[in-house]
Structure 1
Amino acid sequence: MKILNIVGARPNFVKVAPLHRAFRRYPLIQSKIIHTGQHYDTVMSDIFFDQLDLPRPDYYLGMCAGTTTRQTADILCKFENVLTIEQPDWVLVVGDVTSTLACALAAAQTGIRVAHVEAGLRSGDNQMPEERNRILTDALSDRLFVTEQAGVDNLKREGIDADKIHFVGNVMIDSLVAYRTKASELNTLGTLGLLPEQYILITIHRSANVDSEAGLKKLLQLIDNVASLKLVLFAIHPRTLTNLRKFGLISQLEAIPNVRVLEPQGYLEFINLMENAAVVITDSGGIQEETTYLQVPCLTFRQSTERPVTVELGTNQLISDLNPETVTQQVREILAGRVKIGWIPPLWDGKAAERIAQIFLNTE
Structure 2
Amino acid sequence: MSTPVFSVEGLWKVFGPKAERVPGDPELTALEPAELRSRTGCTAAVHDVSFDVHKGEVFVVMGLSGSGKSTLVRCLTRLIEPTAGSIVIDGEDVRAMDKARLRELRRHRAAMVFQHFGLLPHRTVIDNVAYGLEIQGVGKSERRARAQEFVAKVGLDGMEQRRPAQLSGGQRQRVGLARALAVDPEVLLFDEPFSALDPLIRRDMQEEVVRLHREEGRTMVFITHDLSEALKLGDRIALMRDGRVVQLGTPEEIVAHPADDYVREFVRDVAREQVMTVRTAMRPGGCDGTEHPGALDPGEVVADAIKVVARSGKPACVVEDGRCLGVVDHERLLGVVAGTEPQKEAV
Q: Same fold (TM over 0.5)?
A: no
Which of the two has higher C-alpha Rg? 2
TM-score w.r.t. the length of structure 2 is 0.24
Q: TM-score, structure 1 length as denominator?
A: 0.23
Answer 1 or 2: which has greater strand percent: 2
Structure with more helix by fraction: 1
